[in-house]
Copies of this chain bind each other. A is one copy, B any other.
Amino acid sequence: MKLNEHFSDLQDSYLFSTIAHKVAAYQQEHPEKEIIRLGIGDVTLPLCDAVVQAMHRAVDEMGRKESFHGYGPEQGYDFVKEALQGYYAKRGVVLDLQEIFVSDGAKSDVGNILDLFSSENTVLIPDPVYPVYVDTNLMAGRKIVYLDANEQNGFLPLPDPSIKADIIYLCSPNNPTGAVYSRDQLKAWVDYARECGAVILFDAAYEAFLSDPALPRSIFEIEGAKECAIEFCSLSKTAGFTGTRCGYTVVPLALEQEGVSLNKLWLRRQTTKFNGVPYIVQRGAEAVFTEQGQRQIHKAIDYYRENARMIAGALREMGIWFTGGENSPYIWLKCPGGLSSWEYFDRLLTEANVVGTPGAGFGKNGEGFFRLTAFGDRDSTAEAVSRLKKLSLSN
């Protein structure tokens, strides 16, 4: 039997394990120091009450013969799809129920969607980037072209007409940079994709953090996007579902290539290789979109937003350049004093006892930058901010 040779093209990521080792070593030497972690990309607030109650009811249903649920539709129950249809309608995006696929998360779908495409395609990926886009394509042996995101373009690169791409990854609000595309910028991407017959894989996992109504929450708010884009979203950050697992993917019926419907291909892929999301979790997801659920999850989102505002405010005071911090739970800052990502990491750890994520871990353009997140505890975040301010680093 022959193995997939492309696995050898993958690089092992030591980013988070290196961070863990450095933190553990420092803590061992200085057991008295209280270290604050602003590096995590995971939520910390619990599931809201509406979700908890819905899941209790669903567990009870599963325990009684007359209300038990066995196999459900692979693409999700209509009650979740209708809730999502309503959610999109609020921002003027009209979706057919068939266009919505409920899944166990954006990470799975962003990887699995590649089953639909030939390995011959050229993939355009911004750098810095969420590593899953890169690794899933390397595994399949696809050619990757990187697109420079940097201080000059505000980490929001626009299409380069001289580059021919087939599959384009966009994430807005962005992980790791927190930068957000405007409507006009996304329109430029949609026009470019249609021009070169490419598909845009749009990761909207952080859309719930947008507070500026002028910014697009879905690529389908842009004219022409239904002919060229697939959108991935998730309840992970929206409703604290990182350990509960529910996302959704929108594959428009209008998205075709040489008469073949990508919606039909994805349905075939999912019915063949996936068995749907647990009934209990789908009832929890449905509850997120009730009036009560929306009120409750927005309390949590506002909590994280306030953390982001505090961090952004401190950086502004200190004259440090950054993206994100509003409309995003991420803050992407330029390391002060001309430090490299890892130098700044070490200084922050040893002098302020604050842990963040070195930007270099997200690609070559991340060197010299650093990611902080707003998912921490309020008091710890406030304390971290005051320590950051005291840290004397020349800019």
Cβ < 8 Å to B, chain A residues 238-293: 240, 242-245, 257-258, 260, 262, 265, 268-269, 272-281
Cβ < 8 Å to B, chain A residues 39-89: 42-47, 49, 51-52, 55-56, 59-60, 62-65, 68-72
- A326 interface residue (CB < 8 Å to B): no
- The complex places the Cα of A258 from the Cα of B262 at a distance, in Å, of 38
Partner of A65, one of B45, B59, B132: B45
- A153 interface residue (CB < 8 Å to B): no
| Cβ contact within 8 Å between A62 and B70 | no
- A257 and B46 contact, Cβ closer than 8 Å, known pairs A244-B278, A272-B132, A273-B108: no
| Cβ contact within 8 Å between A2 and B121 | yes
- A5 interface residue (CB < 8 Å to B): yes
| Cβ contact within 8 Å between A62 and B117 | no
- A43 and B56 contact, Cβ closer than 8 Å, known pairs A1-B166, A273-B111: no
- A116 and B68 contact, Cβ closer than 8 Å, known pairs A199-B1, A245-B276: no
- A197 interface residue (CB < 8 Å to B): yes
Determine how many copies of this chain the complex contains.
2
Partner of A242, one of B71, B105, B272: B71
- The complex places the Cα of A278 from the Cα of B116 at a distance, in Å, of 26
- The complex places the Cα of A3 from the Cα of B265 at a distance, in Å, of 9
Closest partner residue, chain B, to A47 (CB atom): B62
Instruction: Number of A interface residues at 8 Å Cβ cutoff, please give it.
Output: 72
- The complex places the Cα of A111 from the Cα of B275 at a distance, in Å, of 11
Closest partner residue, chain B, to A64 (CB atom): B46
Q: A151: which B residues are within 8 A, CB to CB?
A: none
Task: Say how far A199's CB is from chain B's closest CB, in angstroms.
Answer: 5
- A187 interface residue (CB < 8 Å to B): no
| Cβ contact within 8 Å between B111 and A280 | no
- A135 interface residue (CB < 8 Å to B): yes
- The complex places the Cα of A25 from the Cα of B60 at a distance, in Å, of 35
| Cβ contact within 8 Å between B245 and A277 | yes
- A47 and B68 contact, Cβ closer than 8 Å, known pairs A1-B199, A62-B243: yes
Q: A240: which B residues are within 8 A, CB to CB?
A: 68, 70
Task: Say how far A388's CB is from chain B's closest CB, in angstroms.
Answer: 24
- A386 interface residue (CB < 8 Å to B): no
Q: A52: which B residues are within 8 A, CB to CB?
A: 59-60, 62-63
Partner of A268, one of B7, B107, B242: B7
- The complex places the Cα of A157 from the Cα of B11 at a distance, in Å, of 42
- The complex places the Cα of A58 from the Cα of B46 at a distance, in Å, of 12
- The complex places the Cα of A170 from the Cα of B338 at a distance, in Å, of 60
Cβ < 8 Å to B, chain A residues 350-376: none
- A4 interface residue (CB < 8 Å to B): yes
- The complex places the Cα of A5 from the Cα of B243 at a distance, in Å, of 36
Closest partner residue, chain B, to A166 (CB atom): B1
| Cβ contact within 8 Å between B265 and A107 | no
| Cβ contact within 8 Å between B69 and A243 | yes
Task: Say how far A185's CB is from chain B's closest CB, in angstroms.
Answer: 21
Known: A43-B70, A107-B275. 18 other contacts (CB 8 A): A1-B117, A1-B257, A3-B258, A4-B118, A10-B268, A44-B70, A56-B56, A62-B243, A69-B243, A70-B240, A70-B242, A107-B273, A132-B272, A243-B276, A243-B278, A243-B279, A244-B278, A245-B278
Question: What are 5 A-B interface contacts by the 8 Å CB criterion?
Answer: A3-B257, A43-B70, A55-B62, A132-B272, A132-B273
User: 8 closest pairs, A vs B, by CB?
Assistant: A111-B273, A52-B63, A2-B118, A1-B166, A42-B70, A69-B243, A70-B242, A46-B68
